[in-house]
Structure 1
């Protein structure tokens, strides 16, 4: 939110009170609290009729420093709050040196000079300033409507670029943007977002750091916009807490941030295969579904998951979790027949209960639906007629909702697409007394958590997976997330990728999107180009709105492209699942912006039309019908995975690709484990394993995971010189896989 009118003036009706000088410090061994006057105090009379701002500085985890700013401490705090791990403020160490007080936690410290004008300055292990909250950096602000805001500003260094803030489809680098954390169902072509995460990753020539604003409600960001040299964030509250997260690399930042907010669960290996859906408003029944499955088999396209979208339930009754008996008279038998063909089953759900559903009266009677302040059930006709909203702050409502889903699991369903969860009202009261403004964004976290925990209980820890649309900070624990409603166009394909890359820099390890686009019917060229992109993503789903997405609807070549890249992804599973295990273990995403792997190469910092798939595969989707593509290769000799062509970087390249190809380059010095089984994603990866040794590989250790993400085999690959022979040894002295050199 903007408060100023240019550099000198305030906007009409706005009054800002900035921390100006320190009046007192209270320190313990592991934290300190500073009390700041909002004006210069020349004599005792200046202490009257004037506020103090309180700044608590503490550390919940190594390399993370928290700052809690407070004006009035007596405001009731009903929640919800983000669940953070780590010791509550015990990881730091305070020291005082004359007028300077300093809190240090690992590689990060915050200093406050009590004899100087108010400045909280953050420093790395080398003593270099990372950022600071100086003049106007700590404040409370009142506006013409009587609202009270807490505000902070952190300095942006020369050349510093800002990323993340959730799945945002606006430009990848956030400098110059105004961003509001507020869940909305706005598609992929607007500034609104399904996944709002108040975490930003900062990269400058001096290194990387992160900033997490610990507020689940609306957070207003001005990123080098209102004040071009600063990032401002503000909340409508009496308290604002933020954390600065140490680097020095972007990966280090994500490791620390996800240790604080939660690491993603490891999705089951079968979920990395191809998902096919009925699409959204299309006509379908068991015969239609069978024809799709048969069609894929007849065309030799492996299929892993079949998804039933919303009309598996009766119209006007979403969600009642009951199969439409007129369309699916034998759901248990149908699901059994699909499972006999080796398929997993996904069904669409949402947290809304339509008035026509029999569950509405049941939920209303037991108090499981959100109510207005006057006690009436909150309802509207947008989406479903007379729908209510399940109150997941009520433990009994959570158990009731899980009970309805368990019936589906017992019928043979494996997982759920947890759609919606963004349009959450604020003119309501919640069962646990939560603040409606804070609950608006946080609701999706409760929704996905309830469903994910049921899957873990009923299917097992390693078998739980969602296809979720909305999320906030911490939601990465419940994968997988997909990019929402995009148009069937090259432009929407590019904006979807921007959103996914922003989400990956917000702590989310796994992400997908609707191959071919959701709205409208894609041109065959769009569909075929999107196939390669989609099947070289974390998870891969064919889905649309009013038209089917079976590949033969788009021509024989689309069938060939689907087959080729599905089978390629299956062969890549020993490599991909190792990267997935890293996301689960360390918080480093599977799909990685180039800057994550090459932070010291300035050219990579704005790249948003290419990415690294795991640490060693560069993917540059083609966004044109004629196959022209421009992309960047960092330093070294890169090898094209499909052709074996070697290309030296650094430098920009222009290439032309048919629909069966795209820039897909193996990193210099990498050794890529490649499976022999291209029929399924969860086969025996060790059987027929090949190690692809790229140019520059000289002394490399390669691990191959099992389907629990643990290390199943380790190989050491050595070569004395660039042109010398390759030697491979197994760590356990066992058999050595086939080696293929480029």
Structure 2
């Protein structure tokens, strides 16, 4: 939110009290408390003037937090994000002779100038390089008369809307990334970003997944620990700063240091929660009924027969909204007119070897048989007058389940358990963005404004935990559209409603990469686009891209996404892409386990893998799929694609085409190629070792039988590879040791022959 009008003036009706002075400080065992005030000329300046209390702490090594409070007497009903805490890693040194205070947390240092009227906070790296900080006029309290609450006839008691405002410095050439799943340019410089979940599709500034965390190209991240609306002006108000504001009386943020971007993510996910893993079967292809299409058991069976007859592997079938009767979402019952024998049909689908997913949302329509039960027992969000909050957007008379009520959670969970007992394996947790923030009351008295974003976290958590209880740890998964910080613990997430265009395909990729920089390691898009019917060329290109995402789902709105509708050549492309992803299963499981351990996403922007190569920071049309494979999706009907080949520090050798091992690429160069639909730029990293299994028919099959190791170039050193157990994706099935002397030989691993294939000598 903008409050200023250039460097010197404020917008009409705005008053800002800037903090310029450290009035006093108190050093404690693990933290520092500062009292900040305005510029002080004499003692009279302490009158009729606000102060801001600043508390400096460190929840974990390499992370420093600053909490700024104007008025401390406000009621705090929550909610609050979960933050992992530890201690014993801080150092504090206050030099009164130089008016300086240094607060250290492992490699990260915070220098505070305590000299009179010289307030300055600088975060520094171990080499003493400035990362960011607060320079002049960057910590303040805003009083805004432009709000509805301001009444001039209240005289001296007239209340303006208050905001906490802080500005963090941005250096020359510094790039800012993240802030959730945002579909505009990957670098957020010059953008205004409001952290407020909205159902806005993928082609605007609105976002389903708003995460108040950004990563800088200078080697740090910033997490704003506030569940309500956070507004960021990323060099869009002051060109040298990220201005951050929240309504109310306090704001807290954490600066997260990292020697590399991956290190920043490791610390950030250590703070907010490590991403959980998913079952191996989920990496197979998902097919849905699409949204508003007409379908019944005969329609679905015809689709499944079509995939079988064309030898296209399929792992999951998803029933979208109209598996339930219209106007009754959610009642958690199959529409008996379309599915007269739902339980029997679930059994027949299971006999085909399929997993089953069904669509749900956190709302209950008035026509649902569950509405009266929820109303009677107080399971819904209420208006201030005690009535159930309802509206007709999306569903007629729709009520919202109150997940702050433990009884409502048990009730909702019992509906899911009933479906799981029928054979449902996963739930698509749609919506949770349309959550009222004014005039409503929660069971636990949570602040409605702070609950608007946080609600998605509660929704996904109750569904995920219900699945975990039913099927076991790391065996349950969601297909979630909305989320909030910490939501990486409840995978998987998909990109929402995109159009059927090449531009929408590109914006979907940007959104996914942006989310991956916020602690999430799994992501999917609607292959073919959601809105509209894709032309065959787009369908095939999105298939190529979608089957090189962590999760792959064919989905649309008013038209089906089975490939033969678009031509049998589309079936061939889909078949090849699915089989390629399945043979990559050992590699995908290995990379996912790495992400679970340290927060490194399966799909990642180039700079996350190659931070030394400055050219990678501007690239948002290609990505790394794991550590070893670079992917450049084709976004043109003609098949032309321009892509950059990153420089790999400390590694000799060339990148090699996945499809033609005799075709190599020089690092640090741009290439333009034209591809038919049987290929796209997939490049194998020089010096890499990649586990594959060409004999696999499904991701959950025997991982060891038929496993191969692809080596691009000669091994420079001894290499250890972990083969993940497909039945328990957090467990290591076997450990393979390779050494340079074994290049080109067969390696024995407890009775299993591991073929080592040199794809480029």
Same-fold call, TM cutoff 0.5 = yes
Q: 1:143 matched to which residue of 2?
A: 144
Alpha-carbon distance in structure 1 between the residues aligned to 2:103 and 2:286: 50
Alpha-carbon distance in structure 1 between the residues aligned to 2:397 and 2:89: 50
Q: 1:56 matched to which residue of 2?
A: 55
Q: 2:202 matched to which residue of 1?
A: 188
Q: 1:237 matched to which residue of 2?
A: 248
Q: 1:73 matched to which residue of 2?
A: 72
Task: State how many pairs are aligned.
Answer: 733
Of 311, 317, 322, the residue aligned with 1:306 is 317
Superimposed CA distance per residue, residues 338-372 of structure 1 (whole angstroms, 9 cap, x where no aligned partner): 00111000000001100011101100000001111
Is this contact kept in 1: 2:31–2:55, CA < 8 A? yes
Please state whether the residue corresponding to 1:454 is helix, strand or coil: helix
Q: 1:506 matched to which residue of 2?
A: 518
For residue 726 of structure 1, report the CA deviation from its aligned partner: 4.1
Superimposed CA distance per residue, residues 39-69 of structure 1 (whole angstroms, 9 cap, x where no aligned partner): 2x23222222222111100000111100000
Alpha-carbon distance in structure 2 between the residues aligned to 1:360 and 1:65: 47
Q: 1:642 matched to which residue of 2?
A: 659
Q: 2:212 matched to which residue of 1?
A: 198
Q: 2:133 matched to which residue of 1?
A: 132
Alpha-carbon distance in structure 2 between the residues aligned to 1:296 and 1:138: 60
Is this contact kept in 2: 1:715–1:728, CA < 8 A? no
Superimposed CA distance per residue, residues 150-185 of structure 1 (whole angstroms, 9 cap, x where no aligned partner): 011110011110000000001110000000011100
Per mean C-alpha deviation after superposition, the further-off stretch among 246-255 and 694-703 is: 694-703
Q: 1:175 matched to which residue of 2?
A: 189
Is this contact kept in 1: 2:747–2:756, CA < 8 A? no
Matches within 5 A, 1:446-525: 446-525=458-537
Superimposed CA distance per residue, residues 20-55 of structure 1 (whole angstroms, 9 cap, x where no aligned partner): 01110100121001111112x232222222221111
Is this contact kept in 2: 1:496–1:513, CA < 8 A? yes
1:662 aligns with 2:680: yes
Per mean C-alpha deviation after superposition, the further-off stretch among 489-498 and 701-710 is: 701-710
Alpha-carbon distance in structure 2 between the residues aligned to 1:10 and 1:517: 44
Per mean C-alpha deviation after superposition, the further-off stretch among 505-514 and 44-53 is: 44-53
Superimposed CA distance per residue, residues 191-239 of structure 1 (whole angstroms, 9 cap, x where no aligned partner): 00000000000013xxx10000000110000001100010111100100
Please state whether the residue corresponding to 2:485 is helix, strand or coil: coil
For residue 715 of structure 1, report the CA deviation from its aligned partner: 2.7
Please state whether the residue corresponding to 1:710 is helix, strand or coil: strand
Gaps of 5+ in 1: none
Aligned-CA RMSD value: 1.3
Q: 2:732 matched to which residue of 1?
A: 711
* TM-score relative to the length of structure 2: 0.95
Q: 2:122 matched to which residue of 1?
A: 121
Q: 2:95 matched to which residue of 1?
A: 97
For residue 734 of structure 1, report the CA deviation from its aligned partner: 5.9
Is this contact kept in 1: 2:743–2:756, CA < 8 A? no
Alpha-carbon distance in structure 1 between the residues aligned to 2:752 and 2:328: 58
For residue 696 of structure 1, report the CA deviation from its aligned partner: 4.7
Alpha-carbon distance in structure 2 between the residues aligned to 1:733 and 1:338: 37
Is this contact kept in 1: 2:747–2:754, CA < 8 A? no
* TM-score relative to the length of structure 1: 0.97
CA spacing shift, 1:736–1:86, aligned 2, 3 Å? farther
Please state whether the residue corresponding to 1:279 is helix, strand or coil: coil
Please state whether the residue corresponding to 2:264 is helix, strand or coil: helix
Superimposed CA distance per residue, residues 627-682 of structure 1 (whole angstroms, 9 cap, x where no aligned partner): 10000001250011122122221100001111111000110000111113342111
Is this contact kept in 2: 1:628–1:654, CA < 8 A? yes
Q: 2:156 matched to which residue of 1?
A: none
Is this contact kept in 1: 2:195–2:231, CA < 8 A? yes
1:209 aligns with 2:220: yes
Is this contact kept in 1: 2:525–2:546, CA < 8 A? yes
Is this contact kept in 1: 2:622–2:630, CA < 8 A? yes
Q: 1:546 matched to which residue of 2?
A: 558
Matches within 5 A, 1:6-25: 6-25=6-25
